[in-house]
Structure 1
Amino acid sequence: MKKWFWVLAVVLVGCGSNNFNPKPKGFNRIDLKPAQYQVLADSFPFQLEYSTQAKILKDSSWISERYWFDLYYEDLGANIQVTYKPVTNRSTLEEYLGDSYKLTSEHRVKAYAIDESVITLNNGIKATVMELSGEVPTQFQFHVTDSTKHFLRCALYFKTATQNDSLRPVINYVKMDMLHMLNTLTWDQ
């Protein structure tokens, strides 16, 4: 009888009126600092301004190109791959443009949409900008050329498994930095 009494007591105490309220859904806090820019070192065949939050890292791909580098945002986990190639003739330009479109189209498997547009920048240069929607590793990229000497391609990547809708504020923040890069771009003659 004592055994049943204790079981009944535990059940009654355990089933008391607890005021349980579920916690609201939380989101990661992302502190985005006001944008500030610095000029790229003059050892490159082009000039532009890039974010002071980004560190220049040597390109880590298996291809070793002199003017390829990464702009790494350590606090945001973002990486802008910057690739520059000199244009020597019409066929090399066509090859670079083809490679750029090919790299973008490889994301069609996971992309809901790839919006491509040609924009005229503040400096008069025309650039092709591609925005990718969906769970893709790159959400924003562009290529720009003077069609005689210079070709530049940049692509934004994140090294995280976080869903892109959660990253939207960071994507937009870095996208604005990339547009600033484009608007301050000049080619060395």
Structure 2
Amino acid sequence: MKIKSFFLLVFASLFILTSCKDDALVKPSALLRLDYPQPVYKTVDTDCPYTFSMNEIATLIKKKQCGMNITYPNMKATLYLTYQDIRNNNLDSLLQDAQKLAYDHTIKANSIPEQPFINPEKKVYGMFYMINGNAASQTQFYVTDSVNHFLNGALYFEAKPNFDSIYPAVVYLREDIRKLMETISWK
């Protein structure tokens, strides 16, 4: 009798388990679409010794000693700008510091291509660093007139660095940074 009960229990269990099968639901393939507005630039003129153009979707926050933060709330990104006067022949140390800040990301970066920037008409010279990979900062730059002014900037996102995920925003913001470098004027 115990054997019949056992087989009956096994048969009932198998019947219940096989009859409650969900049909497979095929999900359509989809890709993430990140659309950013066509940039519209406005000139920023403050009481600091430089002016530049920035994207209208960004917000400018003035800091002490002519430093500024340009925030992009929809992208959760901030471009930190630091201004310093050149005095007592400190240009070499300012350049070394800016280069060191960019290359401190080599631990996580896949590559750091450099693009020199030269605008002799406005006396603006600098370097643009594209930091590719899961580094904390994705783009850094500096510009100077080599005599009086030195401005460097670093782009950071308010998220764990995942370059694949933030890549579209990085490309968009790199163009904004290039525009800032191209439009900077010293007072």
What's the TM-score bracket when you normalise by the shorter of the two chains?
Answer: 0.7 to 0.9
Contact 1:85/1:152, CA 8 A, preserved across alignment:
yes
Segments of structure 2 that go 5 or more residues without pairing to the other structure are none
Contact 1:38/1:51, CA 8 A, preserved across alignment:
yes
What do residues 75-111 of structure 1 show as CA deviations (whole Å, max 9, x unaligned)? 0011101111111232x11121111111112111111
Segments of structure 1 that go 5 or more residues without pairing to the other structure are 60-64
- 1:117 matched to 2:115: yes
Secondary structure of the equivalent of 1:30? coil
Q: TM-score, normalised by structure 2?
A: 0.85
Q: TM-score, normalised by structure 1?
A: 0.84
Q: Which residue of 2 aligns with 1:104?
A: 102
- TM-aligned CA distance change 1:23 to 1:162, over 3 Å: farther
CA distance in 2, matches of 1:151, 1:130: 16
Q: Which residue of 2 aligns with 1:55?
A: 59
- Structure ID, larger Rg: 2
**In the comparison of the two structures, how many residue pairs are matched?**
180
Q: Which residue of 2 aligns with 1:68?
A: 67
- TM-aligned CA distance change 1:113 to 1:4, over 3 Å: closer
Secondary structure of the equivalent of 2:37? coil
- 1:11 matched to 2:10: no
CA distance in 2, matches of 1:108, 1:3: 64
Deviation of 1:7 (Å): 2.5
Amino acid at match of 2:58: A
Deviation of 1:22 (Å): 5.2
The two structures, once aligned, show a CA RMSD in angstroms of 2.3
- TM-aligned CA distance change 1:172 to 1:74, over 3 Å: same
Amino acid at match of 1:67: C
- Runs of 4+ in structure 1 over 6 Å off: none
- TM-aligned CA distance change 1:136 to 1:80, over 3 Å: same
